[in-house]
Amino acid sequence: MYRKNLLKKKLLEGQPTLSFWSHLASPIAAEIMALVGYDGAVIDMEHGPVDYLGATTLMQAMSGTSTIPIIRVPSNDPVEIKRALDTGVGGIMVPEVNSVAEAEALVRACLYPPQGKRGAASVLNRASSYGLDNVKYLEENGKELLVIAQIENLEAVANLEQIAAVDGIDVLFIGPNDLSGDCGKVGDYSNPIFMEALAKAEDLIKKSNKFLGGLPRACDSAGAMLERGYDFVISASDVLMLRDAALLDLKTNRELSN
């Protein structure tokens, strides 16, 4: 559904933002999280169970809130990106953007000609309020869209300065899990190769005209990331919040009953 992107506006005004992962594929959970007041909701189609119809339902559940929906597509595929954009998302997140060519391909997939190569059927889709805002939607051609490229391996870090120079990308998002895996072992955040790559990536992004994005780890809280200059932090997951609250409840009450 066509609307102004309050998340992007906040970033452009220099304010840090907090988003959550939507992994449960539950409209009720998404609505609750959005009502709490997160700036964005990342509907995960790379590692989550939801399809495009399900993603649309999640967005409908959040439409009465200020939370801006983002879809993480499975890959840097123009067909996947096109389908995600047609649902009316406020942001698109793409994994494994490793080179200038891949970054440029991502931007082209997000924009209609002449700036890009996105296929046009906007008059039919939710993105233009099913054609009710079609003229305005076509005129803006991506201006309200937040484009997020994930930096997830050493090749991407090596090419980061050039990737950051690509017009049309708003956020460069460091994926620590995959980056640690590329450095030797998933989750080994004490590996000197990982630590050097992370520090280099953070420094280069902060020196660029892009926003710095990432997610916390056990050894690196959202608060610590914001203090280091992160602009876009995905600080929570509906799955992890439910799991951890349930574990704590069971542990607490089991102990009381013994």
Catalytic residue positions? Answer: 47
Q: Which two tokens stand for residue 41?
A: 């909701």
Q: How far apart are CA 253 and CA 38, in angstroms?
A: 30
| In contact, 180 and 203? CB cutoff 8 Å | no
- Dihedral over alpha carbons 17, 22, 26, 31 (to 10 degrees): 0
Q: Which two tokens stand for residue 54?
A: 């399900």
DSSP string, 9-36: HHHHTT--EEEEEE-S--HHHHHHHHHH
Show Cβ contacts of residue 72 under 8 Å, excluding neighbours closer than 6 positions. Answer: 42, 43, 44, 45, 46, 93, 94, 95
- CA 55, 63, 150 angle in degrees (round to 5)? 50
Q: Which two tokens stand for residue 59?
A: 């967005």
Q: How many residues does the chain have?
A: 258
Is 90 exposed, middle or buried, given 0-12, 13-18 or 19+ CB atoms closer than 10 A?
buried
